[in-house]
Amino acid sequence: QVDVVESGGGLAQAGGSLRLSCVASGSTFSDDAMGWFRHSPGKEREFVAAIGWRDGKTFYADSVKGRFTISGDNAENAVYLQMNSLKPEDTAIYYCNAAASADGFTWYAQYNYWGQGTQVTVSS
């Protein structure tokens, strides 16, 4: 299995900011893109953002466009998610994983293994 560690979550007020970090080893960063996904209890995991390792192109779910920014540091095997203008509906556990898309709009995780994630809680 891959080694993926997420960090940076915490409690924020609506309108606040958090910056998430993901550090990975193994096969995860051998893939073309890395992404952030989030999961709320009782709901399916959903795609948040992705970044291509080779071209640096970024993609975002409509729900976070204009608020979140994904970036990567290939040399450090790290990917980040700057989260601004947080909303209560952003509350979830956030995970990173290799990501792929057939059309550049719908994204899915490449690996069944998920790290521990990092909890983001946004209060009003």
Kindly indicate the confidence band of residue 111, based on its pLDDT and cuts at 50, 70 and 90: confident
Looking at residue 28, what is its pLDDT? 52
Over the chain, what HEC string results?
CCEEEEECCEEEECCCCEEEEEEEECCHHHCCEEEEEEECCCCCCEEEEEEECCCCCEEECCCCCCCEEEEEEHHHCEEEEEECCCCHHHCEEEEEEEEEECCCCCEEECCCCCCCCEEEEEEC
Which tokens sit at 123?
């209060």
Looking at residue 60, what is its pLDDT? 97
Looking at residue 113, what is its pLDDT? 85
What is the overall mean pLDDT for the chain?
A: 91
pLDDT by residue (tens digit) across 26-47?
655 556 799 999 999 888 999 9
Give percent of the chain with pLDDT exceeding 90. 71
Q: Which of 24, 85, 83, 34 lies closest to 57, judged by CA?
A: 34
In sequence order, the β-bridge partners of residue 47 are: 37
Q: For residue 53, is pLDDT > 70?
A: yes
pLDDT by residue (tens digit) across 72-99?
988 888 999 999 999 999 999 999 999 9
